[in-house]
Structure 1
Amino acid sequence: MLYFQAEKEPILSSFLYASILSHDCLEQALGFVLANRLQNPTLLATQLMDIFCDVMMHDRGIQRSIRLDVQALKDRDPSCLSYCSALLYLKGYHSLQTYRIAHALWKQGRKVLALALQSRISEVFGVDIHPAAKIGDGILLDHGTSVVIGETAVVGNSVSLMQGVTLGGTGKEHGDRHPKVGEGALIGASATILGNIKIGAGAMVAAGSLVFKDIPSHSMVVGIPAKIIGYIDEQDPSLTMKHDARKEFFENVAVSCMEGRSTGEFFKMLCFPYIYCLKNW
């Protein structure tokens, strides 16, 4: 496949050879790609590659994670043409794997270097993940742009995070202060989840929602502040990546109307949550 691409686009032949074909394993190829994307005049690519490869080649947990993450991209992102395209081009994957290296360094006590990598991830990829955060395997950062994950956040296995998601704190408090996202959850674009709260396994947070309270497992929430509008049939919505509202949505509209809220008002709350919030502040 890569040889065919090199023949079709000769200008990429050197890039493809240096990035993938010249390496013996995925860890070396990934280390090369990440080092060359994150290098700057004071952090040389050769130095970064040595660090990245040393961490990955001696950490079986990371070796497992980088494979499950690329599988998640291939399975859930229809724009991912191949495993090689994820490795070469997708910054959501790149930022997540660099975080994994920074996390390993953080646990080794090399916190200054871990924070330096966090800074470079933010500058280059537009993704800010604290190296102390705990993130499981099989994670999809779709696009990745503007994702923020705080120091004490925990993200379970097989979670999908769309662009603009924030897992943040609520102020200057210290200690355990960031969200805990359960396995298989799907967090929609620009959703903001604040505080030491739990997002249950298999839950779905709709795009643009603002979450301050615990969310039960397999529930669907939407709005500012987020409200439960139903429950999800799928065990792991992160795997199906279905963002559409189902029958629970319309059942909730009916209930809201029976409780005295007009259909128009309810739709405004769900479809235009920011405007609704400001008008009803």
Structure 2
Amino acid sequence: MNPNGIASSDDLWQSIRHEAVVAGAIDPIFGSSLSSAILDHADLDSAVAYQIGGRLGKNSTERGRFAQIAREAFLAAPDLVEAASRDLRWITVRDPATMGLLLPLLNFKGYIALQVFRVSNWLWSNGRIDLALLLQSQSSDSLQVSIHPSARIGTPVFLDHATEIVVGRLVEIGDEVTILQRVTVGRKDALGGRAPRIGRGAYLSAGATILGDISIGDFAKIGAGAVVTKDVPAGCTAVGVPARLTNCPEQRVRV
């Protein structure tokens, strides 16, 4: 446990291993798959790298290559491992149906897609542009989540269901954000202009589209299917096409 009371990646990993041992004892058929996925690994970064390789690679060579890229990033930037730890813990906070850490690590493709982005963003920031874009492409093909490596995403973040999510170039997403399926966030003009900024604690519902040089305030909510092209103040809810404001703390009434 670190000084601010949040479980470290090492603490989290011990909890995951314990869950794996218990699960294997209860269901030996499921447990047979846990050695390579969990028990053969010494730490969380190794297990997450293994999952990235397994999700992105189409054969053993590709799986090994993508896992090695992730391991390299985690070794060079330990903050990526702590981000992976916080993202995993956040799933248990945001999803009432999730009772532990093991199954999200193994089964939630949104979690792995987010870690693929974090690795690609590290590559992008270190000038390895082509490899960063390759990871984005593989994530889009294999996981149906396409996040441009130049985006900035805080932690923790939860990609729930994580199908047909697109986050474009230079988008900024704050901490504690939840994004559901079929959400698009990007610039209006693909050739230029600022991208949206998503504030802390925002909730982007299924099918929402957020475009242009706009800000979504802290703890704002974007309704299902809403199309947002103007600022949404903190704490407000935006619904409809085009989006209109409702439930604002200061009773604002239009986007």
1:181 alignment partner in structure 2: 198
Give the RMSD, CA atoms, in angstroms.
2.0
Secondary structure of 1:224's counterpart equals: coil
2:234 alignment partner in structure 1: 217
The whole-number CA distance in structure 2 between the counterparts of 1:203 and 1:26 is 32
2:119 alignment partner in structure 1: 101
The whole-number CA distance in structure 2 between the counterparts of 1:48 and 1:173 is 30
1:137 alignment partner in structure 2: 155
Per-residue CA distance 1:187-246 (angstroms, 9 max, x = gap)? 11111001121101111111111101011111111111111112259xxxxxxxxxxxxx
User: 1:198 aligned to 2:215?
Assistant: yes
Q: Structure 1: state its 5+ residue gaps.
A: 234-247, 253-281
Bigger CA radius of gyration: 1
Instruction: Name segments (4+ residues, structure 1) moved above 3 Å.
Output: none
Per-residue CA distance 1:27-83 (angstroms, 9 max, x = gap)? 001111111111124962222222111111221321221111111101111232311
2:89 to 71, 93, 102: 71
- Taking structure 1 as the reference length, the TM-score comes to 0.79
The whole-number CA distance in structure 2 between the counterparts of 1:99 and 1:171 is 23
2:102 alignment partner in structure 1: 84
Number of positions where the alignment pairs a residue of Structure 1 with one of Structure 2: 236
* Gap change, CA 1:81 and 1:108, over 3 Å in 2: same
Q: Where do 1:1-281 residues align within 5 Å? A: 1-41=19-59, 44-174=62-192, 176-231=193-248
Secondary structure of 2:33's counterpart equals: helix
Secondary structure of 1:231's counterpart equals: coil
Secondary structure of 1:140's counterpart equals: strand
The whole-number CA distance in structure 1 between the counterparts of 2:42 and 2:247 is 49
The whole-number CA distance in structure 1 between the counterparts of 2:179 and 2:140 is 17
The whole-number CA distance in structure 2 between the counterparts of 1:41 and 1:218 is 46
Cα drift, residue 8 of structure 1: 3.2
Per-residue CA distance 1:68-100 (angstroms, 9 max, x = gap)? 111110111123231111111101101000110
Q: Residue type of the partner of 1:33?
A: Q
CA contact (8 A) 1:68 1:138 kept: yes
1:269 alignment partner in structure 2: none
